Chain A
Amino acid sequence: MTAVPASNRPRYAPIAPDPRARAQLLVMDHDCPGDGAFAPGVNLADFPERWGIVAHALVLPEPLAGAGVKSFRSSAHLLALLAHRLAAETMGLRLYVVGSEPFVWDVARVATEAGMGRDEMQLFAMGRPVRRVSCVHCRHINPGVTTTLVTCAGCGVTLTVRDHFSRAHNTWMGVQCDAEAPGELPAVEDLIA
């Protein structure tokens, strides 16, 4: 009998705007989300206020006033201004987030710190899995992991990426793969969403 390992992997439902919201803000880590991010019948035009990332030096800082489409140079740039924006926001806002999993949960953290609850935001992670993997042995966080095994940049052990996600830390759990039998490593595979 093969034991099925427990998983707390987040599940994402396609984004559908909440008709009861007073205001809506869509945040993306790219210009145009691919297919599947939105529920049937929903498209970008349903979100008059959209924040996206255009990683280009020509994106210049602009005043925050008013709804509309805004571009940011990086996720760090976007997250900083989102925290600033939410600090002045009032009840009735809904936040929709589309992008890579680390980005989506970074935005969720900023929103949570601003006082928003999970029923005030919708998250949708998409694209090839790119995970932040936290080493349980040395606490180092390895960004950009796409494979089932990764060498920890902190302590050098080979980590296997467990199917265990920390919503608080926005990391997946990495545990030494060959602790029982040193040197015995399974084949490396791509992570699957």
Chain B
Amino acid sequence: MIDGQTLTLRVADAVLVAPGLRRLHLVAADGARLPPAAPGAHITLTLPTGHNSYTLVSADPEAGYEMIVRRTLQSRGGSRYIHDTLATGDVIAATVPHNLFALHSQARKHLLIAGGIGVTPMLAFIAHLRRSPAPFKVPFELHQLAAPAETSVFEALLDARPGERVHVHAGEGYFDFTALLAAQPLGTHLYTCGPAGMMNAVEAAAAALGWPDSHVHREDFGASGGEPFTLRLAKSGIDIAVARDQTMLAAIEAAGVDAPSLCRGGACGVCMVPVLDGLPEHRDHYLTSDERASSRLVMPCVSRSRSATLVLDL
């Protein structure tokens, strides 16, 4: 079960904006107004392949929601379905928008660092920041890392205005996060979205320079695979095999067990489950380091198991 109210959306438009990148325009199936959403919000779509969360690039109650989906090879099938099967006019169920990656209201400057398709929340951010009226305008600086072949795609998406600090860099290896972060004025908030390796490097550079955690924000795409293992649900009394390319949460849902969830990206904490036995491999950003070390709680949406069997109180 996914928490919260459900929306019924109709695909108004689905266009390929670049090879492997599809932009979906979704409107309410009954033509009603959609709930508004602040930049950084996501919705979770219920597709025949499972549940997938996507950031809203724009969210307007009248005009509808927009998202950009990259076709990935190692995906759980959601992006392939959106690229290959989903067509204009199709109706899909989705959650109302939730926001776990909001712009900080007290920031003096927003520093945005994205890798690849991690551009999606940044598009929502900069659209919002460009719209803000003058007395409330907060400066921003955006650095987009892209594969060399894709730099023109991201330049077109970001559409830098004269005077804006919007930079598209070809490849991660050519970029020095430390030099960038060392030059940021007091009151800067940092937002990063992209591959885990890139975000870890950004976070490590910020921590080494003494940035407080409260000024560093990240958004994960969600789980990638790992070694298969067995999940034992103590209350339900069943064993489930979690496949290499499957998340624990998807395996639990596939077995028909009701498990609450929300962001499916290890950020919100809604799906947290007590661990009765076994050693979890934590991949979330919700638990504290003490909670991780205790191995008594796990977030099944992204985390996996180090032990061959993991026993959950579910």
Contacts and interface: CB of A to CB of B under 8 A. Distances in A.
Contacts of A68: none
Interface in A103-154: 114-117, 119-120
Contact of A86 (B186, B211, B215): B186
Contacts of B214: 117, 119
B183 A90 contact: yes
B184 interface: yes
Contact of B186 (A18, A21, A115, A119): A115
A90 B184 contact: yes
B186 A90 contact: yes
Most buried by A among B182, B207, B210: B210
A23 interface: yes
A119 B215 CA distance: 10
A20 B207 contact: yes
A24 to B, nearest CB: 9
B106 A92 contact: no
Contacts of A115: 108, 185-188
Interface in B169-215: 181-188, 206-207, 209-215
Interface in A49-97: 86, 89-94
Most buried by B among A18, A91, A114, A119: A91
A91 B184 contact: yes
Nearest to A21: B210
A114 B186 contact: yes
Interface residues of A, number: 18
Contact of B187 (A94, A114, A119): A114
A97 to B, nearest CB: 15
B312 to A, nearest CB: 34
A23 B186 contact: no
A91 B108 contact: no
A91 B188 contact: yes
A11 interface: no
Contacts of B185: 89-91, 115
Interface string A1-26: 00000000000000000101111000
Contact of A20 (B108, B181, B182, B210): B210
B106 A23 contact: no
A89 B181 CA distance: 13
A93 B210 contact: yes
A91 B211 contact: yes
B15 to A, nearest CB: 40
Given A117-B106, A117-B215, A22 B187 contact: no
A91 B215 contact: yes
Most buried by B among A22, A23, A117, A119: A117
Nearest to A95: B186
Nearest to A88: B185
A89 B106 CA distance: 18
A50 to B, nearest CB: 18
A84 to B, nearest CB: 13
Nearest to A92: B210
Contacts of B206: 91
Contacts of B213: 119
Nearest to A119: B212
10 contacts: A20-B207, A20-B210, A90-B183, A90-B186, A91-B206, A94-B210, A114-B186, A115-B186, A116-B187, A117-B215
Task: For the complex of A and B, list the 9 residue pairs with the smallest distance between their C-beta atoms, beginning with the closest.
Answer: A115-B187, A92-B210, A22-B210, A115-B186, A115-B108, A21-B210, A92-B209, A91-B184, A119-B212
Given A93-B186, A93-B210, 4 more contacts: A91-B184, A91-B188, A117-B214, A120-B212
Interface of B: 106, 108, 181-188, 206-207, 209-215
Interface of A: 18, 20-23, 86, 89-94, 114-117, 119-120
